[in-house]
Amino acid sequence: MNTLNHFDTPQLELLHRGKVRDSYRAPSGERLIVVTDRLSAFDSVLETPVAHKGAVLNGLAAFWFDKTKHIIPNHVISLLDPNVTLAKEAEPIRVEMVVRNYLTGSMWRGYQQGQRTFSGVTVPDGLTKHQQFPEPIVTPTTKEESDREITPENLVSEGWVSAGLYEKMRVKSLELFNFASKWMAERGIILVDTKYEFGLLDGELILIDEIHTPDSSRFWSAEDYVKNPEAVEQMDKEYVRQWLIANKQDGQYPRALTPEVSAEATRRYLDIFERITGSPLPISNETTGDVRARLVDNLVRAGIMKEAI
C-alpha cells in the first residue's frame, strides 16, 4: 500500500522536520505543514510508515479546528492536499497544555509510585486505575528536548508565559476539552486526555499544531469502559505501543512493524476518523497510485510549487 514516509523538495525552504510533520515556507510567507505517515513511539520514529495515517491526522485536525473556531481562532488557512495544511505563521508558545479527565498513562504510573501532585495539581489517595476525576484537570508541560511537568507558577517565574496569558490558555483548553468530550460522548467515545498548543498572531492567542487526533489524545470506547474500566482498550496508537512492548528484545523495541500490525494500525486510524466525523476518510479506498505524486500535483495546482521540467 502506498505511503508518504518522507517528503522533500528543493523548491521550498524546510523550516522544521519533526517526528511526523514537516514544515516548509510557502512562497507567500505562510507555513506549509506536511503530515507524513511516519509513526513515533517511545521517542523514536519507526521504520515502517502506516498507510493513511497522515491523512487521518491532517483531516481530523482540520475537522476539529473548524468545529472549535467559535471557541478560539486557529492557524488553518486551507487544506491543499489530504496530507497538507497551509497555516498562518504564529509565534509558538513553548508550553503544552495537557488536559486529563482520567487517572491513566504516565500519571497513573506516577500515582502508583506515591506521587500525588502533578504540575501543581494535587489528587487524593485511594484512586484506582482509569478512574475519572470529578472534573478535568490541566497539567502543563514545557516544550523542550525532554518535556517536563511544571506548575503554572513556575511557568511564569521561568519566563515561559505571563500569568494572564497562562490563564487564557487554561480557560480555552478546558473549553476545548469539554466541547470535544460532549461531541465524542454522543458517538460512544471517551476523550480521556489530550494536549493543546497555542501561539500568538499579531498579539492574539490562537490554536496551532493539531487537536484531538489519535497522536495527541487518548480515546476509549465508552461501551468497553462500562464493562471493565481497568482493562478498557485504547482507540489510538496505544495498540502499536503495546505490540512494541510485547516484542521487546534485549532492552530494545523493534524498529519496524510487521505487515499485519501495520495493516491493523491503518484500520484503527481509519476507524477513529469515521467514528468521530461520521464519514469515512475520502481516500481510505485508495490502494494504488503515488501519494507523493498526488501531493506534488496539488501543490503545483495551488501555486506553491512549479512543475518539474
All domains in the chain, ordered by first residue: 91-231 (3.30.470.20)
Q: Give the confidence band of 287 by pLDDT, cuts at 50, 70, 90.
A: very low
Q: Give the confidence band of 1 by pLDDT, cuts at 50, 70, 90.
A: low
Q: Closest Cα partner for 279 from 267, 291, 270?
A: 270
User: What pLDDT score does 181 carry?
Assistant: 98
Cell of 230: 481497568
Tens digits of per-residue pLDDT, 246-277? 999 999 999 999 999 999 999 999 999 999 99
Give residues with Cβ within 8 angstroms of 105, minimum separation 6: 193, 218
Q: Closest Cα partner for 107 from 138, 144, 153?
A: 138
pLDDT mean over 111-117: 97
Residue ranges with strand state E in the chain: 13-17, 21-25, 31-35, 40-41, 44-45, 76-81, 84-87, 91-102, 117-118, 121-122, 132-138, 141-142, 189-201, 204-208, 217-221
Tens digits of per-residue pLDDT, 235-247? 878 889 889 999 9
Query: What distance lies between CA 173 and its chain's CA centroid?
Result: 14
Tens digits of per-residue pLDDT, 62-86? 999 999 999 999 999 999 999 999 9
Contact 258, 49 (CB under 8 A): no
Strand, helix or coil for residue 87: strand
Percent of the chain with pLDDT over 90: 87
Tens digits of per-residue pLDDT, 155-166? 999 999 999 999
